[in-house]
Amino acid sequence: MSKISVIISSMKQAKDIKNKVDAYLIPLKELSINYPNTFRVEEIKELKKLNKELFVFINKNIHNNEIDKLKEALEKIEKLNINGIIFYDIALVELKTELKLKTDLVWHQEHMTTNYATANYWYDKGVKYTYLSSELTKREIKEIKEKAKGKIFVNTFGYIPMFTSRRHLVNNYLDTFSLKESGNKIYKEGKYYFINDLEEGTSVYSDYILNIKEDIDADYIVFNSNLIDEKDFIEILKDYKNNKFKEETGFLYQETIYKVK
């Protein structure tokens, strides 16, 4: 049976859902992206007291001038004795070796974690977990789970980040046309997409809330609470397989194409 893991949005929420959760996934302040609510190392230390598995997101692209900041954060996190760091940038693999860190890593190059062979490549480099891309079919996930050596995370609920940029796309637009509002959604052909322009850059999310109610071949299924009403989120966690909200399976049964002709 898969463990329930939650990308949390607040300390209060973490405490409120304590009894429904096996693991917290925690975006680290200044070194994570795509999650508007981030947490300081001191808050992560506080969350340790809840006696759950803890995984910290350091999933932003690390620019060269951020290496010292990253080192400092890794050394602090190492002392917390958490279960893993969810990474995007390969600098983390190198620094794990250089700093002799014991904390496990979770390979999460977001949309590029798409096959078992690469999961095993990283496993052999000491990366014990893989957090899969959301753009995979159920059949592909099953095969990866069967053939991957490490443990697998799969998104099953929440808005899915589908675009991440260093650029300040909303603020650039507002500045260009001297507009005073702050945009948080874009619209195209009947669909709205949340857009967040924060210090680290701009993120855009799926128009729908992924809501998979069936069993998935994964060690951890991930519920992303960002942009979700807090009460609704608690409702989902009570019994996710029978929740009252619309089922949305994303790419589970929809293989993407890449050659049009």
Positions 193 through 232 that interact with another protein (CB under 8 A): 195, 204, 206-207
Instruction: Give the residue among 11, 33, 22 at the shortest CA–CA distance from 55.
Output: 22
- Beta carbons within 10 angstroms of residue 95's beta carbon: 19
Candidate list 3, 20, 138, 168; residue touching another protein; CB under 8 A:
168
By CB under 8 A, the count of residues binding another protein is 72
How far apart are CB 18 and another protein at their closest, in Å?
32
From 205, 219, 191, 188, select the one nearest 33 (Cα to Cα): 205
Q: Which of residues 1-60 bind another protein (CB under 8 A)?
A: none
Residue in 52, 140, 209, 252 binding another protein, rule: CB under 8 A: 140
Q: Does 163 bind another protein (CB under 8 A)?
A: yes
Q: Which of 38-46, 173-181, 211-219, 239-247 is the region at the interface with another protein (rule: CB under 8 A)?
A: 173-181
Amino acid at 213: K
- Give the pairing type, strands 84-87 and 53-58: parallel
16, 66, 78, 230: which one contacts another protein (CB under 8 A)? 66
Minimal distance in Å, beta carbon 26 to another protein? 21
Map residue 210 onto helix, strand or coil.
strand
Coil, strand, or helix at residue 154? strand
In the complex, the smallest distance separating the C-beta of residue 46 from another protein, rounded to whole angstroms, is: 30
For residue 10, the minimal CB distance to another protein (Å) is 21
Q: Is residue 7 exposed (0-12), middle (13-18) or buried (19+ Cβ within 10 Å)? A: buried
